[in-house]
Structure 1
Amino acid sequence: MKKYIVIALLGLTGLVQAQEALFSGQQVSSPQVNDDKSVTFRLVAPQADTVQVTGDFLPSVKVDTPMGKVDGPGKALLSKNEEGVWTYTTSVLAPELYNYAFIVDGFKTTDPANPFLIRDVASVTNIFIVPGEQADLYRVQDVPHGTVASRWYDAKDLGFDRKLSVYTPPGYETSAAEYPVLYLLHGAGGDEEAWLSLGRAAQILDNLIAEGKAEPMLVVMPNGNVGQDAAPGAGSDGFYTPQFMTPETMNGKYEAQFMDIVAFIEANYRVKSDKAHRAIAGLSMGGYHSMHISRFYPNTFDYVGLFSAAIMPREDKSDKGVYANFDETLKAQNENGYQLYWIGIGKTDFLYEANTAFRKQLDQMDMPYEYMETEGGHIWRNWRVYLSEFVPLLFEE
C-alpha cells in the first residue's frame, strides 16, 4: 500500500508542476488592447532593475545590418509598482499587426504572458493586432478559408528535393475549376514560411477573396535559398541558427531552377498554365528574384510585383547566364507584353535610390509600370500593404 501512496504522491507532484507550468506567465494581461486602441504591456519581474519594451509601434531608429542601415524598433521604459509588476501604456495606435519584445536588465526576451510569436531570421518576437481598417485583412475572419500545405518538389537543376508552401483558395478541394497562380517570394533571411507567418498571406487572401476584391488563386511560396532544402528546423539539416544571407544567396541558381517549381505546380494542381494566369512577386531579395526570373523567362508571367526590391549587382554562378544581357532581356519582356509591372517602396527604405534608378531605366525604354510609395522603410508593415494592394489587380478578365 505504501508503494502505491508514494506513486500517487509523485503523480500529484507532477500534476502540480504541470499546472504551474501551464499557468506561469498568466498572472497579468499583456498585451492588453484598450478600447481607445492604446496598448498596455505588463511584466512580473520584482527583482529587475530596468525593463524596456521594444517594438515596431514605437518611433523607429536606424540600425546596422549586412544590407546597410535599416529602420529598427525603438524602445520605451516600463514603470514598476509595489507588487513588482512593470507597466507601459502606448499612445493610441493605428490599426496594424505589431511585434515586440521586452528587455530586462539588458537581456532581450519574449513576453511570458503572450504565447503568440513569430520568427524573423533568428529573432523571435511576440505579436498583437490592433483591429480595424487595413489590419482587419490580417485577422482570421468568419469567412471561407483556404488551405495551406507543405510540399516537396524535385529541384532537378540543384539535385535534391526542396520544400515550398502552397495556399489553395476556399472551395479548391470540392471544385473542378482551374485557378491562376501567384508565385510569392520572400526576402533575405526568410524561407517558405515567411510570407505565412510574418506576411499573413493566407489571411490576406482569404479576406480579399471573401470581399470579392481578389480572384480565387493559388499562392506558391518557395524557399529562395538554394543551399537549403527547407526552412531551418524543417529540412534535412535539422536545427541550426538561421542566417540572414545564406550561402549561394542571389547568385543566379535560384532563378535558373525556377521553372522546376512552375512545372511541379502545374503537374500537381488544377491551374491555368499560361502566361495570362501566372504572376510573380516578392519582397527585397524576392523582388530581386522576381525581376530577374520574369525577364529571364520573358514570356512566362503577365504580372510582376517588386516590393522593396533589392536591385543590386551580384555575381552570377548559374550555368545559364541568368544575369547576362540584362537590358536585352528586359527589352524582350517589354516587347512580349504583360498586364502589370508593379513597384512598391518606402520613402526611407535603404533601397529607395536603387529603385528610383530602376524606374528611370524603365521610363527611358517606355516600359510601363504602376508605382506605390509609402511611409517607412524596409519593413513587413509595408510588404503586407503591398501584397494587399497587388493581389486585387491580378487576373482580371
Structure 2
Amino acid sequence: MQEKSVTRLLLLLVMFCISNYAISQPPRGPLVISPQIHPDKKVTFRYQAPSAKEVKFSAQFEKAPVAMIKDTAGIWSVTVGPVKPDIYPYNFVVDGISVMDPANVAFFPNERFKASLVDIPGETPLIHAMRDVPHGSVTYEYYPSVSGTTGSLVVYTPPGYDKDASKKYPVFYLISGTTDTEETWFKVGRTNVILDNLIAEGKAKPMIVVMPYGNVEARIAAQKGGPKPADPMGRESEEAITRAKTFEADLMQNVLPYIEKNYRTINNKDNRAIGGFSRGGGQTLRTAFSNMDKFSWVCCYSAYLSPKEMESSYKPIYENASRTNQQLKLFWISVGTDDFLYKSTVEFMDFLKAKNVNYKSLVTDGGHTWMNTKVYLTQTAQLLFK
C-alpha cells in the first residue's frame, strides 16, 4: 500500500513538472521554411513577423531590397530568381532593421553585419559543393597571442592526415577580410570542401590550411574588457599599416611556431604559402614582403599596396626584381572589374610590371565578393607547392 502511494506521488510530481514546462514554453508559430530552393533555381524566402509593418529581402544577387508580402498567419515571403548557382549572403530588413533568417542555420561569420547564407546548387556540382570524395578535417585551435590574449584559428588538414603519422605537409596561411573572422574562409569560402574536391581530382597537393583572425586589436579589446576599436580610416593610413604590422608580428611570432609545433609541417619557405582577401590581402603582401625568407608562395585577392607604400617600405622587392622573382615561386594577384579596389589593384600590377617584378593575375567579372574569392582560391590552390 505504501509503495502504491509513493508511486502515485511520483507520478503526480512528474505530471506537475511536465505541465509547468509546457506552460513556460513560448507560443509556437507555424513552421517557417526558409530558404526554399526550387528546381528552376528560383528561391522563396520567408520570415515570421505578424506585428511588422514592412519587411524587405536583401541579398548580394539583388540590386536593391525587395518588398515581401505578408499572409494571414503573419509570415512574410518573396520568391526571387532564377539565381545563378553560388553561395550568397542575405538578410531581412524588418521595419528598417536588418536581421538574419531565424529559419536558416547557415550564417556569415562577421564582426559587424549578421547575414544568412543560401547555397544555390548547380546542375553539375560546383567546386564548393560537397561530393562523395575523401574529406579532410577542420579543427578550432587556440594559441597564446599578443598582450596576454588567446588567439583563435581554424585549421584544415587534408584527407589521410591522421592515417600516416610520419607524413609531413606544406602549409597555406589564409587570411580573411575586414570585419570577417577566422571562420569566414571555412563557412563562406568553403576552403575545406574546395580543397577536398581538388585533392580528390589530383589538381591540388594535400596541404594544411591555417585560417587566422585578422583583427588582433579587436581581440585584445574583447579579452581585456575594452571597447572594440573602429576600423582604420583608409587602407593606406598610418593606423592601418600599424595594425597590419601587429598582425604580422602575431602570425610570425605566435601562429607559425604554434602550428609547426602541433602539426606535421614541412618547415621551410618552399613549403609555406600565404594568401588573403581584402584586408587579408594587404596583410599578406606586407607580411610576405617583410619575410621573404619564410614564404615562396604569395596570393593576393582583391587587394594591393600603393606605389607610395612600396617606395617607402618595400624598395628591395622591386629594386632587385630578379632576386624577388627567384625567391617567389608564385606571386598571384586577383580582382574583379566591379570591385571598388579594382583601379588601385590595377595600379599596383602596373607598378610591378614597370619594375619587372613577375606575377600572375586573374581579372574576373564581379565585385568585392566571396563569390569571386572562391574562384581565386580554387585557381591558386592548384598551383601551390608544385
Settle same-fold status: TM greater than 0.5.
yes
SS of the equivalent of 1:151 reads strand
Query: Which residue is equivalent to 1:254?
Result: 247
Does residue 9 (structure 1) correspond to residue 16 (structure 2)? The answer is yes
**Equivalent of residue 185 in structure 1, options 166, 175, 194:** 175
Structure 1 contact 182–220 (Cα < 8 Å) conserved: yes
Does residue 328 (structure 1) correspond to residue 316 (structure 2)? The answer is yes
User: What displacement does 1:282 show?
Assistant: 0.4
Distance 2:300 2:215 in 1: 18
Q: Which has the higher helix share?
A: 2
Alignment of 1:304-315 (within 5 A): 304-312=298-306
Does residue 375 (structure 1) correspond to residue 359 (structure 2)? The answer is no
Query: Which residue is equivalent to 1:42?
Result: 46
Query: Which residue is equivalent to 1:140?
Result: 130
- For structure 2, the residue ranges without an aligned partner over 5 or more in a row are 1-7
Structure 1 contact 189–243 (Cα < 8 Å) conserved: no
Letter in 2 for 1:163: S
**Equivalent of residue 54 in structure 1, options 48, 54, 58:** 58
Distance 1:112 1:153 in 2: 33
Letter in 2 for 1:118: F
Structure 2 contact 194–378 (Cα < 8 Å) conserved: yes
User: What displacement does 1:140 show?
Assistant: 3.1
Structure 1 contact 25–113 (Cα < 8 Å) conserved: no
Structure 2 contact 92–98 (Cα < 8 Å) conserved: yes
Distance 2:13 2:226 in 1: 39
Structure 2 contact 137–157 (Cα < 8 Å) conserved: yes
Letter in 1 for 2:60: D
Write out per-residue CA displacement over residues 183-223 of structure 1, whole angstroms, 9 at most, x where no aligned residue: 10122222322212232222222222222221110001122
Query: Which residue is equivalent to 1:168?
Result: 157
Letter in 2 for 1:269: Y
Write out per-residue CA displacement over residues 278-322 of structure 1, whole angstroms, 9 at most, x where no aligned residue: 11100111111111111111232221110011535999xxxxxx9
Distance 1:17 1:212 in 2: 56
Alignment of 1:186-265 (within 5 A): 186-229=176-219, 236-237=223-224, 244=231, 249-251=240-242, 252-260=245-253, 261-265=255-259
Structure 1's 240 and 389: CA in aligned 2 closer, same or farther, altered over 3 A? farther
TM-score by structure 1 length? 0.82
Structure 1's 115 and 190: CA in aligned 2 closer, same or farther, altered over 3 A? closer
Query: Which residue is equivalent to 1:292?
Result: 286
Query: Which residue is equivalent to 1:274?
Result: 268
Does residue 352 (structure 1) correspond to residue 342 (structure 2)? The answer is yes
Distance 1:159 1:336 in 2: 38
- For structure 1, the residue ranges without an aligned partner over 5 or more in a row are 60-73, 316-321
User: What displacement does 1:355 show?
Assistant: 0.9
User: What displacement does 1:90 show?
Assistant: 0.9
Distance 1:337 1:240 in 2: 42
User: Number of matched residues?
Assistant: 369
User: What displacement does 1:27 show?
Assistant: 1.6
Structure 1's 46 and 268: CA in aligned 2 closer, same or farther, altered over 3 A? closer
Distance 1:229 1:84 in 2: 40
Distance 2:15 2:311 in 1: 69
SS of the equivalent of 1:377 reads coil
Q: What is the Cα-based RMSD across aligned positions, in Å?
A: 3.2
Letter in 2 for 1:394: L
Structure 1's 155 and 133: CA in aligned 2 closer, same or farther, altered over 3 A? farther
Alignment of 1:104-143 (within 5 A): 104-132=94-122, 136-143=126-133
SS of the equivalent of 1:265 reads helix
Structure 1 contact 26–112 (Cα < 8 Å) conserved: no
Write out per-residue CA displacement over residues 6-31 of structure 1, whole angstroms, 9 at most, x where no aligned residue: 6623423414655x67xx46623221
